Amino acid sequence: MDSKIPPQFINRELSWLEFNQRVLDQALDPKTPLLERLKFFCIASSNLDEFFEVRVAGIKQQIESDVVERTIDGLTASENFRAVQRRVRRMVDQLYRAWREELKPDLEKNAFRFFEIGELGAADRGWVENYYRAEARPVLTPLAIDPAHPCPQLLNKSLNLIVQVEMVEQGQALKHLAVVQVPRVLPRLLKLPHPQPKHSYVFLAHLIGFYLADLFPGTKLLGYWQFRVTRNSELYIDEEEVGNLLKAVENELHNRRKGDAVRLEVEKDCPQDIRSALLGTLRLEDDDLYVIDGPLNPTRLMVLYEGDHSPELRDPPFVAPISAPFREHADLFSVIREHDVLLHHPYENFDSVVDFLQQAATDPRVLAIKQTLYRTGGDPRIVGALMQAVRNGKQVTAVVELRARFDEANNILWAGKLEEAGVHVVYGLVGYKIHAKMCMIVRRDEDAIRRYVHLGSGNYNATTSRIYTDVSLFTCKQEFGEDATNLFNLLTGICQFQNTSRLLVAPFQLHATLLRLIEREATNARAGLPARIIAKMNALVDQEIIEALYRASQAGVTIDLIIRGICCLRPGVRGLSDHIRVISIVDRFLEHSRISYFENGCQPEIFIGSADWMPRNFYRRIEVVFPIEDGTLRERITSEFLALPLADNVKARLLQPNGTYNPAPLKKNSLARRSQGEFIKLALGKPVSKSKVRQPKYPVVRLARSPLKNKT
């Protein structure tokens, strides 16, 4: 490594892989209910798929393009690829070992069985054969591979069988290869009809393999092996060159399924010559090959988790109550006029947000609705409310982000339905993703026209609202309404950004404001005033922000970072980050809220919003971060939303200076604290241990002297 590269940053890709390790750790934790462990196992596998589709694909493109830019920790693209590959291989080995040695045996002990065709009794064997004849065989297409039939275009992440047959031609026995794709239209796991054991399955790939000879009459079947190809799934759209963004995204979605291959997975007994043939066909190297001892697409095992069976193998059920301010008042607008309302999802029901829109759609006093939609989800109530509002004569505008990764097709579908219903659909600004979470309702109240604004850290998605932790605010304060109006005008019209009085908006002012707020804490610390920063987010990558946090730490600011995923900041390093602690919580719900606390000399300022501290959020997205001005709400955020995660010693993991994570220490005779469990208790009105934000003492580690030290 170049000696001029500072050692104070953690590699982004390796940090992400450490996050996925924490997800996998939940699957390995025997204290977690079995089906929840299976869920985390599937999530870890799905996460790895996306990592290859996007991040590894990007690294490989950098290598092919001879990009000279280094990573934040000073690695070339080739060095980064090798480091990632080493870490991924360890993770894949652990992932499948967990399936073979822990999850599968434990599932079988609990009446979940996975049968080979030869193990079935006569009745089940007959059912399986009928299924093959009636359901599978009609949709199977054997594709020969020879000079007249080149290897077919294998779809991204599709499961395939590479088949070797022998056929006598002109007196000679010749070997041939063919590919059979396992149909995506059929369930990957087939549940057998007999009642014992209660959950009995056959893998579709095994069923097809058992009857493969039927597809190749006149040949001798020598063998078949499962394999899967992962492809580059990034969308490449030059927005300034396309006349119709909707059509451009639709076209690119088709290309995604056929992008350059970046990974080949084969089952463990696949012969070397077959592996080499597949690698050559896909233009991949040995480094891109992963030999799998287990199911090649573990995410399909989520079918075992789905449904309402086996409650004893799951987390206790939890139904979020309606937030107290809305519980006894049918008219949400009257409640919001009295005071701001803060919601904490999934501990408080997202139905209040849906009700807000549905009431607006039918309220004769409502004149207009404006809303951003990033991930619309499958729940039709929100988009249905927008359509109903149009039918009721209201002016409705929806800013739909077509490029929300892996939700593009869904968003295109809903955008079309909204347009057909008469909603004014806008696709945002050239060069920026619209990631802001914002809704504004214009209502003619008895005393004046008033703007009711909803702002949040999460999407308008009723499905994810039950499994993601997020925070949102209802307000009708004039300053918030004016800022929201100006921002919607920017998104839908032709104008330049106007400075806002309350909202912080990326890419225009958010980054600079955060740097100023961090520097203010450093200045206060040097002056002997109380100085504290607490920030909760999904990822911390931006180098300028990290350097500012290092300077604040060196000035004596106490800094707690609650970061679920990527963190490129290296905490606990003497002379660099002595006063910085980083924790990550992976638990039942996906930590997704973004909250920032600045002590401000005993006059705390708290901000919530849609933005992580990453360059993409600061410079390539429209993001909205908003202050919490109500003192009671600020106290709730401090004493609950921030204090409980900081006190967590069950699910919290502490980032070490070397980039790994260790469990939070549980001191002798201390109370076990699991923040998400305590949030559930609070939501149900049960008592929890009182928490407050304390000034902790952090261990420090010596590291090479940082060049940043001269900048303080």
Residues recognised as catalytic: 435
Task: Say what the alpha-carbon torsion angle 310, 312, 314, 316 is, to the nearest 10 degrees.
Answer: 120
The Cα–Cα gap between 285 and 274 comes to 14
Query: Of the candidates 610, 604, 647, which has an alpha carbon nearest to the alpha carbon of residue 629?
Result: 604
Cα dihedral 647→653→655→656 (10° resolution): 110
Q: Provide the 10 A C-beta neighbour count for residue 170.
A: 5
**Which distant-in-sequence residues (6+ apart) come within 8 Å of 363 by Cβ?**
333, 443
Quote the CA–CA distance of 640 and 474 in Å, as a whole number: 19
* Cβ proximity of 237 and 249 under 8 Å: yes
Kindly compute the dihedral angle of the four CA atoms of residues 493, 498, 501, 502, in this order, to the nearest 10 degrees: 50
CB 251: neighbour CB atoms within 10 A? Answer: 13
Between CA 63 and CA 278 the distance in angstroms is: 22
Peptide bond into 197 cis (omega under 30): yes
3-state secondary structure of 200: strand
- Give the tokens for residue 222: 């020598």
- The CA radius of gyration of the chain, in Å to the nearest whole number, is 28
Count CB-CB contacts under 10 A for residue 2. Answer: 8
Maximum Cα interatomic distance, the chain, rounded to a whole number of Å:
96
What is the 8-class DSSP label of residue 55? I
Q: How far apart are the C-alpha atoms of 435 and 460, rounded to whole Å?
A: 11
CA 708 to chain centre: 33
| C-alpha angle 234-236-239 in degrees, rounded to nearest 5 | 135
Backbone angles phi, psi at 114, to 5 degrees: -120, 110
Answer whether 361's CB lies under 8 Å from 335's CB.
no
Count CA atoms closer than 13 A to 112's CA, side-chain side.
18
